[in-house]
Amino acid sequence: MSDELYQEITLPTGLAFKQPIGLFINNEWIKSDSKFETINPSTEEPIISVYEAGVKEVDLAVEAARNAQKEWRKVTPDDKGKMLLKLADLLEAKVDLFSQLEALDSGKPVESNAKADIVGVADYLRYCAGWADKIHGKMIPLAHNRFAITKRYPLVVGQIVPWNYPLSMSSWKFCPALACGCSIVIKSSEMTPLSLLLFADLVKEAGFHPGVFNVISGFGKVAGQHLAEHTGLDKIAFTGSTATGTKIMQSASSNLKSLSLECGGKSPLLVFDDADLGQAAKWASFGVMYNSGQNCTANSRVLVQESVYDKFLELFKKQVIEDWVVGDPFDKDPKMLLWF
């Protein structure tokens, strides 16, 4: 462990730990030529600076992931599943650390949001571990003397994730990819890079081969763009805006790589006069306020039938005032981030 590539952070609870700040490539922490700050959104104060990936570092990460496939694809599905289970245990043992770190970096409340996110990652690792030895091809009879065989091949995958669920949404991408035998280069959001960097050390501890799981911090216009157009990748998985998703589709045409795009949009919620208005108000407030309102599926438009509009509005306002307490993310009661 190089002290230059770790920096001690003391969380508001008093919990202190060493945060990796480098780029995790080939199971090693490396530097780049520049850094950028990550900011605590509840105070707008800098937390720490992390190393920024440019074109050169993206190339190194992709090369590491592609080289890793040579040995990683030989690892039995059973052993891959065991590594995923060990990774789940390692994360579960540090739920408090990871949930507090995400609260610091993203602004989501610890108790009502961040902790459930991290527990969910451990659960999903275990779920995907169970799939590791059940993903295979088929033998398809065509006639009495002929049959066809389908075979699944692992890919080298670039993954780009947003800020609102830093580790949770990353896990939606890396858990199934690892279970399928893929090697990964994952880019965090420049707004919330810390938990994914800390998680990378657990991946190494769990026994994953060098180059199977690479983490880079950086900006979309440089690192994200180069990942999308990189001919060394077989697939890009992206969650973010529709505008950026459109650009990624264009860039991915460099080698016709596969795409998984989860792009944001506006989600309407409809309330009719036959609804249980109390329940409608409860879930309408939850849908737009949960995770401090940072949801791509937030019901940011509520369309209410005119005959019950006034009654619903009063119930909705009461629900928001009583249930969605605004405060510091590290307080016990708040359910929403206090913006200064």
Q: Which residues pair with 37 in a beta bridge?
A: 49
Confidence check: pLDDT of 337 > 70: no
Whose tokens are 């708040």? That residue is 334
Q: Provide mean pLDDT across the span 275-287.
A: 95
Minimum mean pLDDT among 14-18, 269-273, 284-288: which range? 284-288
Across 35-44, 85-94, 292-301, the highest mean pLDDT is recorded for 85-94
Confidence check: pLDDT of 329 > 90: no
Domain boundaries, the chain: 20-263, 268-326
Whose tokens are 């019950």? That residue is 308
Structure confidence by residue, pLDDT tens digits, 68-83: 999 998 999 999 999 9
Confidence check: pLDDT of 21 > 80: yes
Q: 20-263 has which CATH code?
A: 3.40.605.10
Check residue 79 and give its pLDDT: 97
Structure confidence by residue, pLDDT tens digits, 234-246: 999 999 999 999 9
Identified catalytic residue from 296, 306, 314, 322: 296
Integer Cα distance of 184 and 238 in angstroms: 13
Alpha helices in the chain (DSSP H): 55-72, 77-92, 95-106, 115-131, 168-179, 194-205, 225-229, 242-252, 277-289, 309-323
Please say if 182 is a catalytic residue.
no
Confidence check: pLDDT of 265 > 80: no
Are 2 and 24 contacting, i.e. CB atoms less than 8 angstroms apart?
no
Identified catalytic residue from 28, 92, 262, 263: 262
Q: How confident is the model at residue 112 (pLDDT cuts 50, 70, 90)?
A: confident
For residue 89, give both structure tokens.
Answer: 């245990």
Structure confidence by residue, pLDDT tens digits, 172-181: 999 999 999 9
Confidence check: pLDDT of 217 > 90: yes
Integer Cα distance of 245 and 229 in angstroms: 13
Q: How confident is the model at residue 338 (pLDDT cuts 50, 70, 90)?
A: very low
Integer Cα distance of 228 and 257 in angstroms: 9
The string of DSSP letters for 37-82 reads: EEEETTTTEEEEEEEPP-HHHHHHHHHHHHHHHHHHTTS-HHHHHH
Check residue 2 and give its pLDDT: 57
